[in-house]
Every structure is written in C-alpha cells, then in structure tokens.
Structure 1
Amino acid sequence: MKGQETRDFQSEVKQLLHLMIHSLYSNKEIFLRELISNASDATDKLRFLALSNSKLYENDSELHVRISINKDNRTIKIDDNGIGMSRQEVIDNIGTIAKSGTKLFLESIKANKSNDKLIGQFGVGFYSAFIVSDKVSLRTRTAGTSLDEGVFWESTGEGEYTIADVKKADRGTEITLHIRKGEDDFLDAWNIRRIVSKYSDHIALPVEFEVQDKDNNSTKWEQINKAQALWIRNKSEITNQDYNEFYKHITHDFQDPLIWSHNRVEGIQEYTSLLYIPSHAPFDMWNRDHKRGIKLYIQRVFIMDNAKQFIPNYLRFVRGLIDSSNLPLNVSREILQDSKITKNLCTALTKRVLQMLESLSKNDCEKYKVFWKEFGLVLKEGPAEDNINQKTIAKLLRFTSTKNNTSEQTISLEDYVSRMVEGQEKIYFITADSYSAAKSSPNLELFDKKNIEVLLLSDRIDEWMMSYLNDFNGKSFQSVSKIDDSLNKLLDKEITEQRKIEKELEPFIKRIQKSLNNRVKEVRLTHRLTNTPAVVTTASNDMTTQMAKLLSAAGKELPDVKYIFEINPDHSLVKFISDIKDETNFNEWIELLLEQSLLVECGTLEDPNKFILRMNKLLMS
C-alpha cells in the first residue's frame, strides 16, 4: 500500500483505548449504535453539501448504511456511502481527541462503574468498537475525489495504528470489526437485528442487513429499520422509549432526558420542533466555545449542527432539532442571522423550553431538583439576557435561605413570598463568596431576631443576576448589606429613642471620622446589629462588594468601593472603646473594628499580617 506508515496514538487516546479494552461495560452493544449514528451523520453531511454540488453523489444518491457478518472470519462490517474522510481527517478524527474535557472523561470513566453512560459525552463513540473487537480496520474515501484517494486505517488498540493510501471504488466509510473471543453474541444475525431495532429504528436512513439466499446462492440487502424521521410521525405513534432513543441518537448521550416537547406548528410559519432537557450537564458547559445542540433541518434535509440562532445563550443546555418549511434550502448562516423568520422561531422555541421547565417544576419536583443542580447556574443568566421572559424565568429560579439548614437551592420566589411576615414590604437577600459566609453574616442579625427570611446567594453570578431582577409579584428585592429605609421600619427602637442615642454619641462618631479620615464614605450608628460591634455597608446606589469582585474577575479596572462604617452603640466593645482617652490607643481599636468589618464583608484584607499584629498588640495591652 502506498504511503503506509505507523503512528502512535495521542497519549490520552492510549489511555482511553486501554480502558475500552480492559474495563467491564454494563451494555456492550452500544458500540453498534455509535457506529450507525456516525454513519448517519456522514450521510447527513453529504446530503447537505450535495445541495450545492450534486456531483458528490457520484451517480449514487440512495444513501444507506449496510451491516454484514462473516462468522468464519469473526468480523462485522459496517459500510456507509456518506461523505467519507481524507487522510488528514482520519488522523485528526481518530488518531487524536480534540474534544475539551478528555482528562475529565478519563477520570470519570475510571471511577464510574457504568462506563457506557460516559462515552457519548466526549465524542469518542468510534473507540467503543474496541469494547468487542481486538482489531478494527477502516477504509474510507471522501465524496467527489478520485478512486485512488482512499485511506486505509487499522489498529489493535495497543497504542499505535497503521495508515496508508488505497484505492476505493465507492465513497464513504467501511469499518470492519474483528470480534474477540467470548463476544460471539455479536456474530449472531438475530442479535444484530435486535440491537438495530432497539437503537436505530428511528434514524432517517435505511439500515440494511446482508441476507444469504441459499436457494439462489446469492446475497441481498434487507432493510431492518423503519428509516422514517421520528419528528414527522404522529405523536400518538411514538412511545417514550422511541423519544428517549432518538435523543440518545442525536446527542450521543447514554442517559435518558428529563423531559421533552414535540410540537408541530402550521399556518403562515410552519415548522416542527423536538426539544429535550438533558439529565446532566456536559463537562464543557462553561467553555466559551460550547456548542449548542439544536440541529436545523429544512423539509427533512439536514442543514447544520449547533444552530445557535434558534435558542438563547442561557438555554444552551437544550438539545433537539427544528425542521422548518419556510427557510430556503440553500440557506446560509447570514440568512439565518438576518431572517425575521429565524427570530420568530427563536422566540417560539424559547417560550416552549420555558413552558417545559415550568411543567417540570410543578409536576415533578425531584426531576426539577436534578435540572437545577445541573443547569441552575446557566439559567441564572436569563434575567439579564431575556427581559421579555424575565417573569417566567424568575419563577424557575431556586435559592437557599435562612429557613434552610442546607446549601441546597430548593426555595422558589413563590415559596418565599408565601412566607413573608405581616408588614414585610420587600424580598430580602444577601450575596457572599460562600454559603457559610452568607449564613453567618452580621447583616442577618436583625432578620433572625424578627424571624424574617433572607435568601442566601453565594454563586458567582448571583450579584449580576440580582442587578437585573427588579421585583417579583409586586415585591421589590432588597440587599440586606445595603442602606435602605425599609430596614429601619423593622427596628424595635422608636425614632425618638434612636435620635436621642445618636445625639449623645455624636462626639464619638466625629472622633471615629477624624481617626479614619477619608477611608470610609461615612460613619454612622446602626440599630440593626445585636452580636456584632460594627459592619461595613454600601449606599443603595453604590457598587456592592460582590459586584466589584465579579467585574474585577472579568478584568475590569474599578475604583475602590467606599463603605459606610456602621457602629453598634449597644455592644460592650463599642462602649469600651468610646471611653478610651488615649488617641493612639483609640485609633488602634477603631482600625481593628474596621478591619474586622472589612474581613467579614470582603473575605480578605489588603494586609492581613498588619491586622494580626494589631490584634495581638491590643490583646496583650
């Protein structure tokens, strides 16, 4: 063979193949499903490219995938007449794994007893062939190329592979699996038919099986799947298992989805959509290049994967497809971006997904908990991105609060509002770096005393999200670490009593202001604290600590946050400090109080060692 060479696999592929060969799988038959799905993808790509270049069909437009068994040679052959691969594509697609998260996959597959559930999450389905094979051979040729531009590839999965140039009469890819001893079930024709019927019945591509005609001593190809696009069938004819298997086919996922919606719209704008909510998040969900999972078909012709124009970014976890009759078959990405029809479809699909989530939250709380655990952080992007559906999104949000004894986010805003105490005007919340920091914040002392629930927000995105949420069911949101008049209405002390105390301690406050100079925006007394001597807060219109951290993490240069230093006049330490006559000693105690307050609010100090030295010095005096 021309151009023959032996290459080493990428190191991570070696590890993966070792696991494929030597690990135990609970469902070995998944290899056939993966290879048929890959063949289906190859024919979809050819069908799309042939819209602008019909010569790619090479006088054979009947697309199919064919399976044959040779018991004597212990082989299974899977052959498609799709787009095929070039030599470089074979090296890139099989010799390496270019997918993000491969190391995480390897770690997960080692730790997970049900390894077959993990394969499809990383686009490594081809390697599942080694679950049942001790050698895999491949012959392929790209559609539209000359016959001598075929490629041969072969490996035993032991760390290297052979690649060479060969002649191949037909376009597409032919894979031969050399079945290892002990896997004889996969050489049984009835078993292969059963697997195809179970996993690939819905594929809109004929799967044909080679049948021996003993009377005529000949062979023929018999179609063994329905080969009808599932989404165009009547919903009454489709079982839950059909929907689940189709989801696994288009996503290469091995777990059932949480919920799906199959919808057909007729009229001026005609389309069919089949949308799924997965049961787990992919490892690359937070990558900037994460691909959204909506496939675009036009009149059942595959157009493109990952059509991001049809789903907003905060719903990027949605999988499925849309088949439209309104867009032109020679559709381009520019047309998609500018089309009014595309925008209308995006609006409709967004509402459909939100309706699915509403239904799930109301009818199956346990499944919605799974959804929120996997995708809650993504959905929290919604209030900022989608003002039109903000009220609906707000109903879907989940939080933990001071009424919970766990960090698990299970409380809806409707739950919170239903528990508001008499006279409570606002929905109170606090943001912090962690659940523990939020729950132990001194800003909660008054609310604990009054038995008023406070939402505890500790995800990085929470501060940004809350800056876009204005109200819920007529109740506005209020951060307990910001100054607000509504908080004063919760105090036990009467206004006249407060003013009396403030008058008496006015010299003390001025003395503190003089000590701190311009390092704080203001010094004032507070009656909201019970166990804490002092806190720092921000004005209602000023940037919060968490927002400053968020913007700083994004590389923004920001001015320092100017805090309001609030002193608790009823605390014994404050009373002790107010009686100190020596200015140097007084200044040291005020610095310590401020640093304590900043440490609680910010989680860190500019000079922690200086704080420790000051505290030790005062403890020893």
Structure 2
Amino acid sequence: MNMKTKKHAFKAEVSEMLDLVVHSLYSKKEIFLRELISNASDAIDRAQYLGLTDKTIVADSPAWEIGIAADKANHTLRISDNGIGMSAEEAEANLGTIARSGTQAFLDSLKQGGGASAPDLIGQFGVGFYAAFMVARTVTVDTLRRGEGQEAVRWRSDGQGNYTLGPSDRQTAGTTVTLDLMPEHEHLIEEWQIKSLVKRYSDFIAHPIRLAVDGKEVDPASEPLNTMRALWRRDKGGIKAEEYAEFYKHLTHDFAGPLRTIHYTAEGQLEFRALLFLPEKPPFDLFLPNRKHGLQLYVRNVFIGADFEALLPEYLRFVKGVVDSSDLPLNVSREMLQDDVVITKIRKNLVGRILSELEGLKRDDLPAYTAFFRGFGRVLKEGLHFDHENGDKLKELLLFASERTADDGLLSLRQYRDAMPAAQKEIYYLTAETLANARRNPHLEAFRRREIDVLLFADPIDEWILEALEEYDGCKLRAIDRGEIELGSDEEKSKTKDKLKDDEQQFRPLLDFIRARLTDEVKEVRLSSRLTDSACCLVADEAAMNPSMRRMMQAMGQEVPKTRRVLELNPAHPLLKRLLERLGTERDSEAFAAQAGLLYDLALVAEG
C-alpha cells in the first residue's frame, strides 16, 4: 500500500458549517443515527445497482446488511455497511468538501434562520453526515471501494477544521463510521436506546440492520432491528402518518414531514406501485440548472437507481418518491428508459395522479395550497409551456395576485372568471417587474374606476408562459398595456370617442409639438381614454414584446429588437392643460421643449 496518512484542512465554508451545525442544533441530536443509517442504505443500493452491469462489484455475493456496534467500555458507536465503499479520492470529495454549489447558500440560510430552522436546513442541503459531530469527539471512517485493485482508506476528524486521510486495515468492501462519543451523549450506547431510534426512524430500511453490544462483533444471524417491509408494498390502510413521514425524511433528508402523501397501486394492463410525496417547502436548489430530480425506481422490489428523470416531467421535479414496477427488466438502464413504452405509460399515470392530488388540495384546503404555490408555483408554471396535454389541468392550479386582492392575496383563474361581470368578455392582466410596480401602474386607473379586476403578473416566468395561456374557459387573456382598450357599455364607448375627438382638436398643437420632439423615442403621441389620475403612459402594439419580457431577455444577454411604443396623454390632467397654455408663447423655448419631452421619462418611471 503506497498511501500515507496526510493532514488536510477543511474548505473554509465546510469548517464554518461544521461549527454552525454542532452549535445550532439544540434538540434531536439523535438524528445523527438516522443520517448514518440512510447513508449506509444508499451505499448498498448503489452497489446493487452498479453490480447489475459490473459483476466484479458483487463477486463475493454479499448478504447486504447494516451493522451497529455499541462498545460501552470504549464509549464508541460503529455503523457499518457492506455497500459500495469509497476510494481515497471519493472520501476526500464526499467528506472533506461539500461538492455542491449551494454551500454558501446553506451557511447564509442557517445564520438567518437560527437554531430553530437548522434541522430543516441540514436535511435540505444534504450534509447529514456532519450531524455525527453533534455527539462525537472524533469521527473515523474506514472504507474500501468495491471492485478490483482498490485500497482501503481511513478518514478521521474531530470537526475542528482539519482531517487526516490515509491507509486503513479494512479487509472487506464497504464502510464503517466510528464515533467516539462525548461524555454527555454516552447514553446513546444503551441497547434500548439504539433499538428505539432504529424503530422510530429506520424501520422501513430495505436492508437488515443488526446490533451488537458490549464490544462484540455484529452477528449476521442475529434478528434485524427493522422489519424491512417496503412501505409502498404494504396496505396503506395499515400505515400510520408517522411511518410515511419517517420514510419521506429518509428518502429526502428533509427534517420536516411531507405536505401530502400519494400512495397507490396501478393494476390492469400496467402494474406498478407508487409512493409519492409533495414537500411542504421548496429545497434551496430547486432552480439550479444541474439539479438532479426524479424518482427512485424499483423493479419487483429490487432497487434500480435514484433520480430517474424519465418518470416525471421537469416541472414536477419537486415530487419525491418511489415507483416499483413489475413490467420492466432488471437490467433496465437510464438510456433505455427515455423511450420505453412502459415508462411512458407510468409517467402519464403519475402526472395525472399528482395533478389530481394538487387539485384536491386546492379544493379542500386553499390556504395550505396557497402556501404551497408560493414555494412551487413558478415550477408548476413551466408545465404550461412544455406539457400541452395537461394544459387545462395546470391552468386550474395557477394562482395570481390581482388588483382586488390584498398585498399577499392570490386567486385562481376560476375565481376571477366567476367574478367577472356579465358584460366582461375578456380576462385582463398586467405584467410588471414587481408586484409593487404593477399596483402603481397608470394603466390600472380606468379599470379601478369601473371596478374591473385585473390579474397582476409579476413573476419573471409569467410573460414566458402567456403563449400557452392565451385563453381560459372561453375568455381570451388581454394585456391592458397593449393596443387600444375600450371599456364600458356601447353608449359609454360612443361618448368616450366623441369626447376624445373634441379634445384632439384642442390639443392637436401640443400633440404635434411633442411628437416632433420624441420622434426617436415613440411611435405615436395621442390622447388617452384609459387614464384618470396620471398624466401619461406608454402603450405597446397588440403583438409587441412586453417590457417585462424585454428585461428578462436583456438579463439573459439576448439581443432585444428596438421597438417604439405609443405615448398616451391624459387631456384632463393639469400638467397637460398647463403645457397647452404655455405652448403659444414658449414654443421656441428650449426649457419648454425639455419639459414637454420629460413626459416620456415620466411614463417610463410610472411603469417601473
């Protein structure tokens, strides 16, 4: 063995994170055992999956198992597995650094949230292994990677900023994590305590968990601490909510329970079992481009792999769970899954079930659904653009702010549609960079006067999805800042047109003057029927790109075509009347021309 033991320093952010983890978690320190057992289970699952195509990994035909050894005399607790193991490079990558782009985000969130939110954050950010330092003075990891020509490795740290990496005398493939417990946590060595924790947190683990006490080695023939009954294969009528919650936490490393659980069996031409979970809060990396998503896949209760993206569309990437199929071969690969007919049918079934569950949540508990939508609504909206087959279902799940809702209120398209006056034939909306900007937009003035509600689209994705949201329940969606808007009865419209004609005669000299001044900035200058309080606003052509979309494209570095909009002026506004009065005597004044030209800037400011 050529490897020598060397001392390494944790990355700065990892060292900081360890300090925060150890000192921020004031309760539930026993969760370290759940995390280490989950890691051991994952290591076995990975070995099983890789062994399907690489027989050298399972050449010893192992009886997969997890061992816990409690040694009271030496104050140590060992958690071992015979799974995939780690090489020296993998040990350094997995234990010496956090190879995730969200490390700093984790630290920021932990600092902001304080101790109370730390358990949730640790689960979300996938750093459960480090929970071991809450109860241990030192943590030692002995590991040997499965496969030919591998060397055993020992990783050791006291969590104070450094760790050592060197050779280990381990002879068998797998990993053992040894905790030298702090005196105040030595009660965790007690046999009853370990059995209780395994029963509470890890009873459903698919591999046997065996216990040895008083310094003895784990006996492979001893009775497992866990029942090993796959939750998704049990009758849901006999499963407690706590069992679902613990399985969800094991699956996701989320310390909070799920918002909703979907457990069902599909029978007939297509047979599979599914256990799916809707999380309560979004993970920190929900919008990271390279984030893994998908479900765990089993074939006849044999683990095939995690994060199978073909099972769910990307807009449902927040859904976690397990699918167990009887209609797929055991040697199925990710490449095969992309075009597999069975997978396509399973995916369609899963999507329909998930959308129905969300619709049920919205119908039965709107406040809970609204809270859910605030976290995941932007992801659901992506589905409108990509999943045309389920477009109508997705429309029913959308929530938006509106002119009439309170600052934090949301309403559905159905609620808006049902509240429309009989004479209203279109669903009106306004896009803006922020909700505050939308509420200040002068285009709303005419609608407020007539008590007509307007949907406010302030999410960056809203403008993008409008291509797929052209109509709802027979009503076209209409942007109030594009084209000409005519409100009111036929009689009111006629009176408005007559009034505008009279005003145009009066204001024609000023309109011509401003038009000449702003030739490069605007397409046209005209009087407005949509303004009541503001002096001016900018109006785009019916098919023109919205300012929100232009800003989004510019932020992405894309070239945005130059367009000119129409400047509309309010003839009843004192500013316009005063400018008209001054025009006759100050037409040639540069100061007056500059003031008239400021109307364009004023309109830009008004829309945010």
Shorter-chain-normalised TM-score: which range? over 0.9
- Paired with 1:100 and 1:364, the residues of 2 have a C-alpha distance of 35
Question: Could you tell me whether the CA contact under 8 Å between 2:76 and 2:178 is conserved in 1?
Answer: yes
Aligned to 2:297: 296
Question: Could you tell me whether the CA contact under 8 Å between 2:45 and 2:305 is conserved in 1?
Answer: no
Question: Could you tell me whether the CA contact under 8 Å between 1:76 and 1:179 is conserved in 2?
Answer: yes
Aligned to 1:222: 223
Shift of residue 171, structure 1, vs aligned partner:
0.9
Structure 2 residue 438 is matched with structure 1 residue 435:
no
Aligned to 1:453: 453
Aligned amino acid, residue 114 of structure 2: N
Shift of residue 63, structure 1, vs aligned partner:
0.3
Question: Could you tell me whether the CA contact under 8 Å between 1:244 and 1:256 is conserved in 2?
Answer: yes
- Paired with 2:542 and 2:489, the residues of 1 have a C-alpha distance of 16
Aligned to 2:539: 537
- Paired with 2:178 and 2:458, the residues of 1 have a C-alpha distance of 53
Shift of residue 28, structure 1, vs aligned partner:
0.7
Aligned amino acid, residue 336 of structure 2: I
- Paired with 1:506 and 1:157, the residues of 2 have a C-alpha distance of 78
**Equivalent residue for 2:207, pick from 200, 205, 208:** 205
* Alpha-carbon distance change, 508 to 5 in structure 1, aligned in 2, over 3 angstroms: closer
SS in 2 for 1:222: coil
Structure 2: gaps of 5 or more residues = none
Aligned amino acid, residue 123 of structure 2: G
Structure 2 residue 420 is matched with structure 1 residue 420:
yes
SS in 2 for 1:521: strand
SS in 1 for 2:338: helix
Shift of residue 518, structure 1, vs aligned partner:
4.7
- Paired with 2:177 and 2:106, the residues of 1 have a C-alpha distance of 25
* Alpha-carbon distance change, 106 to 507 in structure 1, aligned in 2, over 3 angstroms: closer
Aligned to 1:553: 555
Which is further off, 411-420 or 484-493? 484-493
- Paired with 1:337 and 1:452, the residues of 2 have a C-alpha distance of 48
Question: Could you tell me whether the CA contact under 8 Å between 1:211 and 1:220 is conserved in 2?
Answer: no
Which is further off, 309-318 or 102-111? 102-111
Which is further off, 244-253 or 495-504? 495-504
- Paired with 1:517 and 1:140, the residues of 2 have a C-alpha distance of 74
Shift of residue 513, structure 1, vs aligned partner:
2.6
Alignment of 1:339-350 (within 5 A): 339-350=340-351
Question: Could you tell me whether the CA contact under 8 Å between 1:208 and 1:223 is conserved in 2?
Answer: yes
Aligned to 1:378: 379
SS in 1 for 2:372: helix
- Paired with 2:484 and 2:349, the residues of 1 have a C-alpha distance of 40
- Paired with 2:557 and 2:487, the residues of 1 have a C-alpha distance of 34
Aligned to 2:363: 362
Aligned to 2:602: 596
Structure 2 residue 156 is matched with structure 1 residue 150:
no
Question: Could you tell me whether the CA contact under 8 Å between 2:262 and 2:277 is conserved in 1?
Answer: yes
SS in 2 for 1:158: coil
Question: Could you tell me whether the CA contact under 8 Å between 1:210 and 1:219 is conserved in 2?
Answer: no
Shift of residue 58, structure 1, vs aligned partner:
3.8
Aligned to 2:10: 9
* Alpha-carbon distance change, 317 to 584 in structure 1, aligned in 2, over 3 angstroms: farther
Aligned to 1:234: 235
Aligned amino acid, residue 413 of structure 2: L
* Alpha-carbon distance change, 67 to 180 in structure 1, aligned in 2, over 3 angstroms: same
Alignment of 1:8-47 (within 5 A): 8-47=9-48
Deviations 1:165-221 (A, max 9, x none): 13322110011111110112201100100000001111111111126799xxx9963
What's the Cα RMSD here?
A: 2.2
Aligned to 1:525: 527
SS in 2 for 1:330: coil
- Paired with 1:484 and 1:320, the residues of 2 have a C-alpha distance of 50
Question: Could you tell me whether the CA contact under 8 Å between 1:278 and 1:318 is conserved in 2?
Answer: yes
SS in 1 for 2:156: strand
Deviations 1:443-481 (A, max 9, x none): 111111101111122221121122320111222111111
Aligned amino acid, residue 473 of structure 1: D
SS in 1 for 2:138: strand
Question: Could you tell me whether the CA contact under 8 Å between 1:155 and 1:161 is conserved in 2?
Answer: yes
SS in 2 for 1:139: strand
Shift of residue 523, structure 1, vs aligned partner:
1.9
Shift of residue 54, structure 1, vs aligned partner:
3.1
**Equivalent residue for 1:188, pick from 183, 187, 190:** 190
Shift of residue 356, structure 1, vs aligned partner:
1.4
Aligned amino acid, residue 119 of structure 2: D
Aligned amino acid, residue 596 of structure 1: L
Q: Runs (4+) of structure 1 moved beyond 6 Å? A: none
Alignment of 1:54-133 (within 5 A): 54-110=55-111, 111-114=113-116, 115-133=118-136
- Paired with 1:496 and 1:426, the residues of 2 have a C-alpha distance of 24
Which is further off, 431-440 or 479-488? 479-488
Aligned to 1:616: none
- Paired with 1:4 and 1:506, the residues of 2 have a C-alpha distance of 88
Question: Could you tell me whether the CA contact under 8 Å between 2:71 and 2:213 is conserved in 1?
Answer: no
- Paired with 1:213 and 1:504, the residues of 2 have a C-alpha distance of 100
- Paired with 2:570 and 2:426, the residues of 1 have a C-alpha distance of 24
Shift of residue 488, structure 1, vs aligned partner:
7.0
Question: Could you tell me whether the CA contact under 8 Å between 1:43 and 1:82 is conserved in 2?
Answer: yes
Deviations 1:396-425 (A, max 9, x none): 11111221231x242111221222224111
TM-score (norm 1): 0.91
Aligned amino acid, residue 49 of structure 2: F
- Paired with 1:571 and 1:118, the residues of 2 have a C-alpha distance of 54
Question: Could you tell me whether the CA contact under 8 Å between 2:21 and 2:134 is conserved in 1?
Answer: yes
**Equivalent residue for 2:140, pick from 128, 137, 145:** 137
Shift of residue 393, structure 1, vs aligned partner:
1.2
* Alpha-carbon distance change, 439 to 23 in structure 1, aligned in 2, over 3 angstroms: closer
Aligned amino acid, residue 31 of structure 2: I
SS in 2 for 1:183: helix
TM-score (norm 2): 0.93
SS in 2 for 1:177: strand
Question: Could you tell me whether the CA contact under 8 Å between 2:124 and 2:253 is conserved in 1?
Answer: yes
- Paired with 1:592 and 1:20, the residues of 2 have a C-alpha distance of 56
Question: Could you tell me whether the CA contact under 8 Å between 1:6 and 1:161 is conserved in 2?
Answer: yes
Which is further off, 121-130 or 110-119? 110-119
SS in 1 for 2:170: coil
Question: Could you tell me whether the CA contact under 8 Å between 1:213 and 1:220 is conserved in 2?
Answer: no
Query: What count of residue pairs does the alignment treat as equivalent?
Result: 597
**Equivalent residue for 1:587, pick from 590, 593, 596:** 593
Shift of residue 557, structure 1, vs aligned partner:
0.7
SS in 1 for 2:376: helix
Which is further off, 220-229 or 123-132? 220-229
- Paired with 1:36 and 1:59, the residues of 2 have a C-alpha distance of 23
- Paired with 1:65 and 1:436, the residues of 2 have a C-alpha distance of 55
Question: Could you tell me whether the CA contact under 8 Å between 1:30 and 1:116 is conserved in 2?
Answer: no
* Alpha-carbon distance change, 282 to 219 in structure 1, aligned in 2, over 3 angstroms: closer
- Paired with 1:314 and 1:127, the residues of 2 have a C-alpha distance of 31
- Paired with 2:167 and 2:147, the residues of 1 have a C-alpha distance of 16
Question: Could you tell me whether the CA contact under 8 Å between 1:58 and 1:143 is conserved in 2?
Answer: no
- Paired with 2:102 and 2:110, the residues of 1 have a C-alpha distance of 12
Shift of residue 92, structure 1, vs aligned partner:
0.7
Shift of residue 374, structure 1, vs aligned partner:
1.2
* Alpha-carbon distance change, 568 to 488 in structure 1, aligned in 2, over 3 angstroms: farther
- Paired with 1:272 and 1:239, the residues of 2 have a C-alpha distance of 18
Aligned to 1:163: 165
Question: Could you tell me whether the CA contact under 8 Å between 1:210 and 1:220 is conserved in 2?
Answer: no
Aligned to 2:473: 473
* Alpha-carbon distance change, 516 to 8 in structure 1, aligned in 2, over 3 angstroms: closer
- Paired with 2:538 and 2:77, the residues of 1 have a C-alpha distance of 72
- Paired with 1:362 and 1:591, the residues of 2 have a C-alpha distance of 52
Shift of residue 484, structure 1, vs aligned partner:
3.7
* Alpha-carbon distance change, 159 to 495 in structure 1, aligned in 2, over 3 angstroms: closer
